Amino acid sequence: MAKHLMVDLETLAVTPRAVILSLGAVHFDPMGDGILDTCYFKMNLDEQDQLKRDIDPNTIEWWSKQDPLIMEEAFDEKDRLPINQGMNRFHNFAWGCDLFWSHGATFDLVILEDLLRQLNRPLPWNYWQLRDTRTLFDIGFTPNMPQNSKHDALQDAIRQAVGVQNVYKQISWFKNENR
């Protein structure tokens, strides 16, 4: 069984050096059903400010127009982890995965890579292990993702992983039908 990882971040900018509000990640088998394991935490904002990570006023404005419950979870200071503790948790969760997915080739994984490099930490992936759901979803198969809360890092990671599983099943069916 393959063990893939889907990651989703909620941030305060759209640059590689964006402040991370929260990280959600899930283990999943792309040919299976359901989620194998989850990881979710919120990151300490003051420490990221000390690292001079980016906060963009346009992103703050965008957040102000989101569902109040999602905003409350994203911005609540309760239970935020120190950066090193959060990155240890993510690194341990990510280590040994076969492939690493995010919804967009230049966002979530790029931001995590920038933070890990800024902290002089090794990456839990090789460049050839990175995958992008947007490209997969654009090939013409419907991802049929659940319509749970959007802009909640863990719920988005779950939605996107289920979407990958659904597309993989459709591709497998199509391949078998056209032999």
**37-62 per-position pLDDT tens digit:** 999 999 999 999 999 999 999 999 99
**94-143 per-position pLDDT tens digit:** 999 999 999 999 999 999 999 999 999 999 999 999 999 999 999 988 89
Res 145 pLDDT > 80:
yes
pTM for this prediction: 0.94
**147-159 per-position pLDDT tens digit:** 877 899 999 999 9
The pLDDT of residue 175 is 56
Domain ranges of the chain: 4-177
19 CB contacts (<8 Å, ≥6 apart)?
Answer: 11, 12, 13, 43, 45, 48, 49, 53, 54, 55
CA 59/CA 80 separation, integer angstroms? 20
Q: What kind of fold does domain 4-177 have according to CATH?
A: Nucleotidyltransferase; domain 5 (3.30.420)
Look at the chain and count its residues.
Answer: 179
Any idea what the Cα angle at residue 139 is, between residues 148 and 141, rounded to 5°?
A: 50
Residue 92 has which token pair?
């341990």
Res 179 pLDDT > 60:
no
